[in-house]
Amino acid sequence: MNNKVVIVGTGCTKKPGKAHINKSFKELLVEASYEAIKDAKINPEDIEGASFSYGGEGEIGHGGIAPTLVDALGLSPIPAFINCANCASAHTAFLQGCDMIKSGKYKVVLVAGFDKCTDVIPFADYMLWSSDSMYDYNLGFSHIDSLLLATEYFKENKIPVEMQKKSLIKFAKLVRENAHSNPVATLYKKPVPNEDELEKMLFFGNVMSAGEGASAVILTSEENALNISNKPILVEGTGFVSSSHYIGHRYKPSLMRGVEDTVSGSMGNAIPLEIACKDAYKEAKISPKDIDTIQVYDQLVNGFIALEASGVCEKGKAPEFLISGKGDIGGECPINTDGGNIGRGHAGGAASLYQIIEITKQLQGRAEGRQIKDSSIYGLSTSVGGYYATAIAVILSNKLFR
C-alpha cells in the first residue's frame, strides 16, 4: 500500500482577520469542513477520522472540543483528536492527520481548525497575548515582548536604518497587494496604501489583522487520491520541532539538542524553524532552491527571519530579497500570495492551515486571488507557535498531475 499523504479538498472562512460574532465556533468549523468535503467530491461518511485544532489559550472546555465538533459535523462516532500549539495549532493537527493516513488505519481524514476569541471574553483579551502559558502570563511576559525583541535581527545583521524601513514598507505593501485580489482575505478590495501612508503606520504596516474563522482540508493516501481528484497535492516532506517558550533558551542554543554553541541564540533568529525546514527538505529530497512559493508567519520582522530560516534567502539578506522583488507574485519565490496574516488575517487556531490551503490552490492553478506561474512544483508552508517554541515546515508538490 502506498501511504504517501495527499490533499484532495480545502475549505475556509472568508475574512479571518475580523470577528464573526454572528456565528459560533461550531458553525464556523462546520461550514469550512463541508466546503472541504464538497471540494474533495466525497461524502461525509467517507471520513474515518479527524484531527482538530484551536489556539488553546482560551479556556473553553479543552477536553470536550473533539467530541463536540464530531457531533456538530454529523460524523459521530469516529476517532477525533485535538491539538493546541498556539499559532502553529493547525499545522500540528495537519501533521497528526498525515500520520493517521500513513498508519494505514484511516483512508480519509478531516483536518480542521478554528479560532473564536469572542466566545471567551474577557479572558482571551489578556491570555491570548501571553507567551503561551499561564506561567508567562502571571510574570507579565507576552507575545508582544517576544515579537518586539525580534527586531534584534536588524542589529545583528547590521541592516542600515533606511534599508530597514524600505524593506518593511515593501513587505507590507506586497502582502496587501496580494490580499487586495483574494476574496478570502480580510483586506480584499481594500485600497492598498502608498509608501507615505505605510510609513505612518505602526511598524510600517507590518502588524497582523487578528480575528476569527475556521479552515479545513481533506487528506487521503496517494493510492486513494487518484480515484478522487484529478489535481491531488502531495505532502512531500515535513519537519516538526518543540523547544521552549522561555527567552533564556533563545540566548543559549546549546540547551537545544543538536545545536552547536557557535550558532547565535538571539531573538533575531529562528533556530527551531531552521531545524524543522532542514528536516522537511531531507524528507522531500529537495533543497531551498527548489521552493517555488512560500508562506511565512508575517508579524513585525518575523517574516524576514522565517525567509532566512527556511533557506529561501541567505542570513541577513531578507531585506535585499524583498526589495529586489524576488518575493513578488512574478518573482523568484512569491511570498504569502494570499496576503498572509497582515492582509488575509489571522485566526490563531485556524491560521496556519490557511497557508496550506493557499499553497494547495496555487499548485493546482486555481488560486482565488493572484496566481503564480503555472510551472510551479514545490510550495513551503512554515508555521510557529509562541516565539518559535513550536516550529513546523510542510512541503507540498503538484507532481502527481504534472
148-196, pLDDT tens digit by residue? Answer: 667 788 988 999 999 999 999 999 999 999 999 999 999 999 999 999 9
pLDDT interval class at 217 (50, 70, 90) = very high
| Strand order across the 213-221 sheet | 80-83, 49-54, 108-115, 213-221, 5-12, 233-242, 390-397, 378-385, 293-295
Tell me if 352 sits within 8 A of 296, measured CB to CB.
Answer: no
Mean pLDDT within 107-115: 96
Tell me if 397 sits within 8 A of 233, measured CB to CB.
Answer: yes
Predicted pLDDT at 153 = 87
Predicted pLDDT at 137 = 57
Predicted pLDDT at 257 = 67
Helix (H) or strand (E) holding 382: strand 378-385
**How many Cβ atoms are within 10 Å of 399's Cβ, its own excluded?**
13
Q: Which three cell numbers stand for residue 160?
A: 542600515
What's the Rg (C-alpha) of the chain?
20
pLDDT for 386 beyond 90: no
> Exposed e or buried b for every residue in 167-195, given b needs 16+ CB within 10 A?
bbbbbbbbbbbbbbbbebbbbbeeebbee
Predicted pLDDT at 130 = 46
Amino acid code (one letter) for 322: L
pLDDT interval class at 123 (50, 70, 90) = very low
**Chain mean pLDDT for the chain:** 88
CATH architecture of 5-124+210-221: 3-Layer(aba) Sandwich (3.40)
Amino acid code (one letter) for 128: L
- As a whole-number percent, the residues of the chain with pLDDT over 90 amount to 69
Helix (H) or strand (E) holding 309: helix 302-309
Tell me if 198 sits within 8 A of 332, measured CB to CB.
Answer: no
Tell me if 127 sits within 8 A of 58, measured CB to CB.
Answer: yes
Mean pLDDT within 101-116: 95
CA distances from 153 to 24, 269, 270, 306 (A): 39, 7, 10, 11
Amino acid code (one letter) for 77: P
